[in-house]
Amino acid sequence: MAAEDLADVTRSSLRLRLLRAIADGTATDRTLHRELDAPRTTVRDNRRALQRLGYVHDHGGQPYTLTPRGAALAAGIERLEAELDVARRFEAFLEGVPFADLGLPLAALADAEHVRPRPDAPAAPSNRACALLEAAGSVDGVFPVLPKCPFTDDTTGDVVIAETAANALGESRLTGPSGLDVWQVDDTPPLGAALVDGDVLLFSTGPHGTLQSLVVSPDIASWTRTFVDRWRERAERIERGETA
């Protein structure tokens, strides 16, 4: 039934616009004609079609109002359009991560900053991430690759790194801020995610471990906290001074 509802409305862009115009409960024949900038007969025929389909009340008077079914459909289409817009704007990032499997809420990225390599600044994602990490007082994150910038001596938190990143430490001893705990997992996380002071960093990496896309947003902290905690629960803490 939901698919039929969508098919009924999306077959005509005018019907979509009619649903939006009627949603506030003040639409009349005159305001619909003016707002939609379409012939009166076309507006009338499509409005009557929506009434027959059960999306607009057919009470014989004006203003026109949506039925509960019509209101639910209008709200659902609005959410879908918003998520499609986010998917389009963040396509470079989303293509690099299994966002559907991760339950990543696209709507929460609506106001996020998306940093991608540019011809004049190919390292823009790395540079932006380092600027935030180097100034961070607190970092809790999952890093498929080691960040190429140091944390400050005052940085606190928990950092989970992939086994390949831990092996990259070689024979050197783990160094860094004394308040920062480092954890190792055997497999590679599907994306990087970190709570950095008041911001969230999400990033995907390229085949050589470089940041290819960075998302900065304060609006996805709850999801990021859950993601980081799940990876830390399956990780083993690297003791300070221990050879990786």
Give the pair of three-digit tokens for residue 231. Answer: 């990876």
Asked if the domains 2-87 and 97-238 are classified in one and the same CATH topology, the answer is no
Neighbours of 143 (CB within 10 A): 22
- 173 or 46: whose pLDDT is higher? 46
**The Cα angle at residue 83 between residues 20 and 87, in degrees rounded to 5:** 140
Name residue 47's amino acid: R
- What is the percentage of the chain residues whose pLDDT exceeds 90? 42
Q: What is the pLDDT of residue 171?
A: 41
Residues 84-118 have pLDDT tens digits of 999 999 988 888 888 888 888 888 898 999 999 99
Mean residue pLDDT across the chain: 85
Domain assignments of the chain as residue spans, ordered by start? 2-87, 97-238
Residues 127-139 have pLDDT tens digits of 999 899 888 899 9
* pLDDT above 70: residue 168: no
* pLDDT above 90: residue 66: yes
| Homologous superfamily of 97-238 | Endonuclease Chain A (3.30.870.10)
2-87 — its CATH code? 1.10.10.10
Q: What 3-state class would DSSP assign to 114?
A: strand
- Find the mean pLDDT for residues 161-187: 69
DSSP letter string, 60-84 = SSSSB-B-HHHHHHHHHHHHHHHHH
Name residue 145's amino acid: V
Backbone angles phi, psi at 92, to 5 degrees: -60, -40
